[in-house]
Amino acid sequence: MITTAQKRILASPLARRIAAEKGIDLASVKGSGPRGRIVKSDIQNPSAGSANARPSFPQGRRLLSETKRGEGVKANAFGMAYTEIPNNNIKKITAKRLVESKQTVPHFYLTVECRIDALMDARAQINDAAKGAYKLSVNDFVIKACANALMAYPAANVSWTDDAILQYLDADISVAVSTPNGLITPIVKGAQDKGLCRISEEVKELAGRAREGKLKPEEFQGGTFTVSNLGMYGVKEFGAIINPPQACILAVGAGEEKPFVDGGAIKVGNFMTCTLSVDHRAVDGAVGAEYLKVLKQYIENPVSMLL
């Protein structure tokens, strides 16, 4: 903002604009133009003795004031151009919950590598037989495997409260979905009782409405376990932040082909890395490890999910 004092000072319109962007008081700048008028070069290269002189930038650094980049573009004290993207309510709530989770939940992480050749073969056979009626994803198998493993090993299907550990009777699987408004986790409720086709349909329908901002609160609030899959982006392995009040979240990486030893022979197979983030208050190391062992069995033997 240009002050009254600045308006009485002889300066070109461009020099005034640059001074406002860089926070320079024109009264402290000595003009080199006619009648001492302040011009562009005086603002970009203030004298060393000026009260508001700024550090010089490396040659080649293009300041915001030197190029037109559209409306709403600002510059910080170092000449770095930026625009502001206001945070919507979803982003604010998500940020608050993530900070709360990392600051108050004692996370630990367990990682297993699952061979997915049988899963990929089963997926291909099922999709071929469907003839376009539906198309299962690897994530659909992972969701089903997580639900079945929670039923087989319910000690991991819990959440912490100060008075008691709550052990849930159903596997309500939250699925992390990226939307234009931010991250949201729609829930496949009672996933242990649903087939792969039903899970696939629900995930697609929930994700579609999530991106449109049309989910009801009960469709994304709650859940007993979360799956976050970044494999489609080529991410090999990562650790996810727990989604309170849940005690576990599974981070799923991309499948990759690599050699392995089987019975003394070197073979090639497809492997996927899964990392379980765990709330140590509700699930200790042995319980988390046992759950991953059961989950790995389901993923590596997908036919068992159909029984």
Q: What are 228-259's pLDDT values in tens digits?
A: 999 999 999 999 999 999 999 999 999 999 99
**For the residues 186-200, what does the mean pLDDT come to?**
97
**Could you give the CA distance from residue 83 to residue 87 in angstroms, rounded to a whole number?**
13
pLDDT at residue 149, rounded to an integer: 98
- Identify the weakest region by mean pLDDT among 69-73, 156-160, 259-263, 276-280: 69-73
Distances (CA, A) of 87 to 94, 181, 217: 11, 9, 20
pLDDT band per the 50, 70, 90 thresholds, residue 47: low
Between CA 178 and CA 94 the distance in angstroms is 12
Predicted confidence at residue 145, as pLDDT, reads 98
- What is the per-residue pLDDT across 285-306, written as a single tens digit (0 to 9) for each? 999 999 999 999 999 999 998 8
What is the predicted pLDDT for the residue at 33?
Answer: 77
Which residues of the chain are in CATH 4.10.320.10 domains?
A: 4-82
**Separation of alpha carbons 21 and 191, rounded Å:** 55
Beta bridge partners of 258: 269
Question: 253, 251, 262: which is closest to 234 by C-alpha?
Answer: 253
C-alpha separations of 47 from 21, 27, 55 in Å: 18, 13, 11
**Terminal CA-CA length for the chain:** 71
Q: How far is CA 285 from the centre of its chain?
A: 26
Q: How far apart are CA 105 and CA 49, in angstroms?
A: 53
Residue 107: active-site member: no
Neighbours of 102 (CB within 10 A): 11
Domain 89-306: assigned CATH number: 3.30.559.10
83-94 burial, b at 16+ Cβ within 10 Å, e below that, comes to eeeeeeebeeeb
Strand-by-strand arrangement of the 173-175 sheet = 107-115, 265-279, 248-262, 225-229, 173-175, 187-188
Q: In DSSP terms, which residues pair with 38 in a beta bridge?
A: 11
* Cα–Cα dist 62/282, whole Å: 53
pLDDT in tens, 81-117: 998 888 988 889 889 999 999 999 999 999 999 999 9
Q: Which CATH superfamily is domain 4-82 in?
A: E3-binding domain (4.10.320.10)
pLDDT at 16: 82
CATH 3.30.559.10 in the chain, residue ranges: 89-306
* Marked catalytic residue, from 107, 280, 281, 296: 280
Average per-residue pLDDT in the chain? 88
Letter string b/e over residues 237-276, b meaning 16 or more CB atoms within 10 A of that residue's CB: beebbbbebbbbbbbbbbbeeeeeeeeeeeeeebbbbbbb
